[in-house]
Every structure is written in structure tokens, then in C-alpha cells.
Amino acid sequence: MSTVSLIQLNKNFKEISAVSDFDMFIEDKEFVVLVGPSGCGKSTTLRMIAGLEDITSGTVKIDDRIINNVHPKDRDIAMVFQNYALYPHMNVFKNISFGLRARKYPKNEIELKTRKAAEILDLTELLERLPGELSGGQKQRVAMGRAIVREPKLFLFDEPLSNLDAKLRHKMRAEMKKLHQKVQTTTIYVTHDQIEAMTLADRIVIMRSGVIEQIGTPYEVYHEPANHFVAGFIGTPTMNFIDCELEKTQPGLHCQLSGGSSFQLDHFQLNEEIGPSREMYIGIRPEDLIHVTSKRENLISIDAQLEVVEPLGAETLLICKGDFGEITGKSNQARGLQWGESIEFEINPDRIHFFDKKTRKRLRRII
């Protein structure tokens, strides 16, 4: 097993900076997910680690060994690509064992390692089949088996589930989780799907325009986002953002929303000085914006006009429009809601986020 050090990693394509000052230490056996919108540099970072992309500057280390100039085949890394890359004329056994046969492992060792990998991935009954006779999920497991059988120091996954349908992706996420628990190999996984990132990762690296926006556990990036971008990227439906003006009062803060609505936050203090007033974004996740029929104590409320009802079974999304703009909230009742009616949402003050309008950074609550 291995640690990975990425030190001030940079990649430029002529005048374009694809990855800038990527700095991170990955623990032994850790599952790290790089996530971000298309073109943010996550796959480029992975390819630099694998040796498939030259590094403009910076250092890649596995354990204490610098591998910048080490040939990809000598890095002891296994990589699983988006397109499976299976040999169509070889059966599952030969596809899984191809790397071992290329390295001229003894036949008995090839047999043992291949069947062990097949057992881990529930492929034992499929070893004689050709790739054309497999489903998408089975092909993906074969590609993973080819990586596992080598017992490398490091696994790299480049959007391996993006070709699968939604139901199969959900199943394969669970399989990936089980696989990591079994083999305990340090893993770096690239995806644009924030649900994959949240469900698989020990830590998530959120990237934008080649720069790391935040590194943290799934809990941290969801409940304690570093900035406006992270808060909006993580979470489905996305966080609601409303322009507001904060004013320091006694004993807390007064929040004036754009459009005229306002509320008081008593005994509420942030980690930065607000001054007489400060322009901010208030951020509230849809699950923290709850439709109520009777008001409860110690909670604040805002009103909006119902525009769209989206029943999801266990809960219902309400898309509404207020004098401050559009917001999405949730309700436990799907029946009886009519377009155009006035909806009151209650908000727990402890679940409110504030983002500075200029820096886009989140201000932390200290009381």
C-alpha cells in the first residue's frame, strides 16, 4: 500500500493553464475523488499521476519515490478508463489476466490471481464469455478486474461509470465501495458526478478552472463549503442563493433580503466583522427550507408564491418565486398544493450560510 504526494503540480497547454498549483497528500488506503465541471483539470491531474501527460512543473511522489520521469509501466499503477478498453477477441479470463501474461508471470500464479479477482468481482461464472456477450456493468467489472489482478500500489479511475445508465451506476457505486473495502488499495477517482463523489470518497477534491476550491470529507464539503462555488456545486437540488444585506444589531444580525423581505437572527455572530452593513449572499439548502402550515418557535420564515410542484415520492420539491427571486424548498405533503398559492417556508437559523459578495468565501458562524 502507498501514500501519494502531489506537490505544486502544474500543467500548461501553450498559454492555457489546465492545472495550477495542485498540492495534496493522499494517505495509505485512502479513497480520494477529484470532482468538478468539465474542463476543470481533474482528468489531466490523473493522467499526470499515471505518466500519460507530461508535467509542466511540480512533483509526483509515491511513498518517498519521485516518479516524474518514470515510465508509466514502471510506476506500479493500475488505471481504469471510461471506455473499458477490453480486447473483443479475448474471453473474460484472458482480458483480466492480460497484464500478468504480458509480464510473463508463471501460469499457476496467473490462474490463482485471475480467479481471485474474478471471485471478488462476482465474475467467476463469466470467465469464458467474450466482451460482446456481457452487459455494461459486467464489462466495467472486467476492466476493474484487470486492474485488481496486478495488485498495484495505486488505483486510478477516470470516470469509469459515466457510460452506464442511472440504475446501473447506482449499483456499481455500491460495488466500487465494496471493492475498496476488500482490496484496501490507495485510490484516486475522477468524476463529474457529485453524487458519486459524495458516496464513494473518504475525501473530495473540488476543482474549478484547474484550481482546487476545497478538499474535505463529504460532510465538510456539504455542510461547511469553503465558498459560493462549492456550495452551489455540491448538493441536489442546488443550494438557494439570495442577495441580502447584513446589518449588525444587538444581540445579533438583521438580514435584509433583496426585494424587501427581512428577518432577525438573534445571538448570531460570524467570524468576520460585519460593520454597519455588508452585501452578502444567503445560502439555504432546499432540505432546510421547509413548507409549514403552522409556525414553530425559534425558527424564522419567508414567503413565496408556488410555481412548480415536483412530487418525488417520499418528499415533494416546491419551486417558488418571491420578491427576492426563485427558491426551491421541500414539503412532506404533495396533495392540495396549487399553482400561485402563497407558501410559507421555515428556516432553522443554524442551517443558514452567508457568503461575501466580493470574495465569494463563506463566513463561519462562531456563536
CATH number of the domain enclosing 258: 2.40.50.140
pLDDT of residue 173: 86
Residues 224 and 278 occupy one common structural domain: no
Stretches where the chain sits below pLDDT 70 are 1, 293-298, 334, 367
175 and 46 within one domain: yes
Task: Examine the domain organization and report whether 209 and 290 are in the same domain.
Answer: no
Buried (b) or exposed (e) across 281-305, using 16+ Cβ within 10 A?
Answer: bbbbbbebbbbeeeeeeeebebebe
- ∠ Cα 180 181 186 (to 5°): 45
> Of 233, 265, 283, which one is at a domain's C-terminal end?
233
pLDDT in tens, 273-311: 777 778 899 999 999 998 876 666 667 888 899 999 898
Residues 199 and 301 in one domain: no
Q: Quick: pLDDT tens for 160-187.
A: 888 777 787 888 888 888 888 888 899 9
CATH number, domain with residue 217: 3.40.50.300
- Rounded distance, CA 243 to CA 232, Å? 14
Query: Do both 246 and 295 map to the same domain?
Result: yes
Cα 309 from chain centre: 27
Answer whether 301's CB lies under 8 Å from 322's CB: no
- Under 8 Å between Cβ of 215 and 339: no
Same domain, 154 and 292: no
Domain range for 308: 240-363
Same domain, 103 and 34: yes
Element (H, E) at 49: helix 42-50
Residue 253's pLDDT is 86
Which residues have C-beta within 8 Å of that of residue 175, sequence separation ≥ 6?
121, 141
Number of domains present in the structure of the chain: 2
- pTM above the 0.85 mark? yes
Which of 181, 199, 233 lies at the terminal end of a domain, its last residue? 233
Is residue 192 domain-shared with residue 255, that is, in the same domain? Answer: no
Interatomic CA distance for residues 338 and 336, integer angstroms: 6
Which pLDDT does position 294 carry in this prediction? 65
Both 119 and 54 in a single domain? yes
